[in-house]
């Protein structure tokens, strides 16, 4: 398959290309497109064959359900049943935007799209290109992140190209995404609203609207043997090809420890990398020292994290260390992704 590329911005949408992309989706083909969180790999959410193609293109296990992207709130009624009031409360507060809600599904949504579950994940993205594409498709695009399974989610179209060229009909290049981490997922089907995946919409933000919300046990305790309610959360996502460990503790101790480990690894012939911040980047000696952003603006770290992990792969780093970003707000999402990338390896000093 030859993949077509269309370049546009949110301010200058190429309407012809969007129309072509809509046609591809209606015929059961696949289109990668930008959203405000990460790039998505889109197919017709109501067509079981499209969902099967998404799993095949990603190399993803088919028990891992897809998110259905909508562009009109009222379309919810077509794909979901027993919609609670909290759904509309949260939609009002955070949509269009980086939040996904889980509801009971209607018969219109095929089991292939929901990985066999009786529930459906719904998201109304704010990116204008995504919005135009969903409208052109007819309203329901199933889209996981547009990476091959196990790779970090793509934050620029170039990463979609690396993972999906020749596997999808079209890739829409809409530049760099705004947020850089996938949407927050909140389950509304099972008692108290429960965060299944932390993201840009933080626990604190949800609680301002709803009062108390629960957090899935496996997020708070990543070593827990319970099965996460979002099936995708059980996989070791975002893993760089080399070995990554997180080092937690006082700043100077962390730097001294990492430097000594790096020196030993380099003597053993390894190529080394460090994830740090603007505040600490001058403290480290390694082959690739990467500042993910500044601690005074944690969103900058969220924005760069997947990009840095991909760069380590491009530079063939084999042994890597990261500072820890333990904390509240967006830090919960950053640590959730970083812990997965590190296969939960944390050294506490
Ligand atoms: O920001 C995002 O959400 C991006 C962009 C493209 O919208 N999409 C994304 O999709 O991150 P994906 O497929 O990489 O992650 C979807 C997550 C998985 O962990 C999956 O298990 C969970 O959502 N999920 C989907 N449907 C679910 C359901 N019915 N119940 C529980 N978890 C569900
Ligand atoms: Mg993903």
Atom 13, ligand 1: which residue's CA is nearest?
Answer: 144
Q: What local confidence, expressed as pLDDT, does residue 316 receive?
A: 96
Q: What local confidence, expressed as pLDDT, does residue 237 receive?
A: 66
* Architecture category of domain 243-348 in CATH: 3-Layer(aba) Sandwich (3.40)
What is the bridge-based pairing of β-strands 31-33 and 40-44? antiparallel
Atom 19, ligand 1: which residue's CA is nearest?
Answer: 232
Q: What local confidence, expressed as pLDDT, does residue 139 receive?
A: 98
Query: Alpha-carbon distance 247 to 345, whole Å?
Result: 9
Q: What local confidence, expressed as pLDDT, does residue 63 receive?
A: 81
Closest approach atom of ligand 1 to CA 181: 1
- Quick count: other Cβ atoms within 10 Å of Cβ 86? 17
What's the distance, Cα to Cα, between the start and end of the chain in Å? 51
Q: What is the DSSP string of 214-271?
A: EE-HHHH-TT--SPPSSGGGGS-TT--SSEEEEEES-HHHHHHHHHHHHHHHHHTT--
At the fourth CATH level, which superfamily is domain 4-215?
DHBP synthase (3.90.870.10)
Three-state SS at 298: helix
Q: Where are the domains of the chain?
A: 4-215, 243-348
For ligand 1, say whether the CB of 31 is within 6 Å of any of its atoms.
no
Q: Select from 34, 37, 65, 302 the residue to mutate for testing ligand 1; criterion: most ligand atoms less than 8 Å from CB.
A: 65
For ligand 1, say whether the CB of 218 is within 6 Å of any of its atoms.
no
Q: How far is the CA of 36 from the centre of ligand 2 (A)?
A: 14
Q: What local confidence, expressed as pLDDT, does residue 61 receive?
A: 80
pLDDT tens by residue, 70-108: 999 999 999 999 999 999 999 999 999 999 999 999 999
For ligand 1, say whether the CB of 337 is within 6 Å of any of its atoms.
no
For ligand 1, say whether the CB of 3 is within 6 Å of any of its atoms.
no
- Please identify which residue in the block is written with the tokens 């293109």: 57
Query: Alpha-carbon distance 158 to 230, whole Å?
Result: 28
Q: How far is the CA of 153 from the centre of ligand 1 (A)?
A: 12
Q: What local confidence, expressed as pLDDT, does residue 64 receive?
A: 87
Low-confidence ranges of the chain (pLDDT < 50): none
pTM: 0.96
Distance between alpha carbon 209 and the CA centroid of its chain, in Å?
23
């Amino acid at each position: 398959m030859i993949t077509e590329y269309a370049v546009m911005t949110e301010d200058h949408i190429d309407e012809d290309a969007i129309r072509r992309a809509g046609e591809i989706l209606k015929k059961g083909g696949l289109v990668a497109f930008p959203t405000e969180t990460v790039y998505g790999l889109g197919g017709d959410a109501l067509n079981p064959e499209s969902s099967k193609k998404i799993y095949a293109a990603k190399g993803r296990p088919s028990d891992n359900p897809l998110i259905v992207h909508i562009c009109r709130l009222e379309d919810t009624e077509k794909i979901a049943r027993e919609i609670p009031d909290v759904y509309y409360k949260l939609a009002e507060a955070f949509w269009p935007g980086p939040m996904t809600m889980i509801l009971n599904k209607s018969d219109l949504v095929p089991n292939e799209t929901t990985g066999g579950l009786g529930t459906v994940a719904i998201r109304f993205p704010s990116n204008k290109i995504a919005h135009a594409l969903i409208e052109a498709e007819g309203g329901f695009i199933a889209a996981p992140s547009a990476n091959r399974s196990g790779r970090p989610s793509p934050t620029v179209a170039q990463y979609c190209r690396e993972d999906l060229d020749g596997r999808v009909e079209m890739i829409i290049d809409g530049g760099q995404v705004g947020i850089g981490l996938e949407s927050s997922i909140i389950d509304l089907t099972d008692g108290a609203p429960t965060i299944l995946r932390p993201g840009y919409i933080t626990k604190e933000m949800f609680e301002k609207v709803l009062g108390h919300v629960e957090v899935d046990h496996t997020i708070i305790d990543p070593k827990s043997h319970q099965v996460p309610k979002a099936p995708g959360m059980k996989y070791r996502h975002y893993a760089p090809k080399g070995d990554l460990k997180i080092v937690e503790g006082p700043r100077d101790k962390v730097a001294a420890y990492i430097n000594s480990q790096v020196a030993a690894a380099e003597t053993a012939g390894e190529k080394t990398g460090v994830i740090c911040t603007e505040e600490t980047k001058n403290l480290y000696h390694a082959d690739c020292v990467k500042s993910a952003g500044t601690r005074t603006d944690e969103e900058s770290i969220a924005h760069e994290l997947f990009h840095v992990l991909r760069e380590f792969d491009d530079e063939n780093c084999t042994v890597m260390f990261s500072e820890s970003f333990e904390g509240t707000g967006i830090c919960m999402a950053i640590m959730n992704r970083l812990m997965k990338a590190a296969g939960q390896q944390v050294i506490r000093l």
